[in-house]
Amino acid sequence: MNFGAGVPTVEVTDLKDDDFLLDVREDDEWQAGHAEGALHIPISEFVARYGELTEAAPQDGRVHVICRSGGRSAQVTMYLVQRGIDAVNVDGGMQVWAATGRPVVTDAGEPGHVL
């Protein structure tokens, strides 16, 4: 997907294990499977829960925003960038995450899947 030159983007393969990851998918998608250690704030609740991100994100670090395929995360990325936060959209989202062999887990730590 191409969201224009205005959305900073990173490839899944460029992510390091300790990069801060924000998952903006909805609860059912999260429960099916997510990246271990990611912060979950659904896009439908994002503005109301914005403070959770500012508390959890590294002060001078980058926020890597992910959803299923990249559309919702691109919207959140632009919202964050407009507020002066160093944020990037993870290109291809959790679909590419899983396709490249990165682990997808449930809250119980068991293997999950991407909805």
What does the pLDDT look like over 53-99, one tens digit per residue?
999 999 889 999 999 999 999 999 999 999 999 999 999 999 999 99
Does residue 65 contact residue 40 with C-beta atoms inside 8 Å? Answer: no
- Percent of residues, the chain, with pLDDT higher than 90: 92
Q: Is 4 left (phi over 0), alpha (psi -120 to 50) or beta?
A: left
56 CA to centre of own chain? 14
The pTM is what? 0.94
**Helices in 57-92 by DSSP H: which ranges?**
71-82
Catalytic residues: 67
More confident residue, 37 or 5: 37
Rounded-to-integer distance, Cα 97 and Cα 29, Å = 14
Rounded-to-integer distance, Cα 56 and Cα 49, Å = 12
Written as six digits, the tokens of 102 are: 């990165």
Amino acid at 41: I
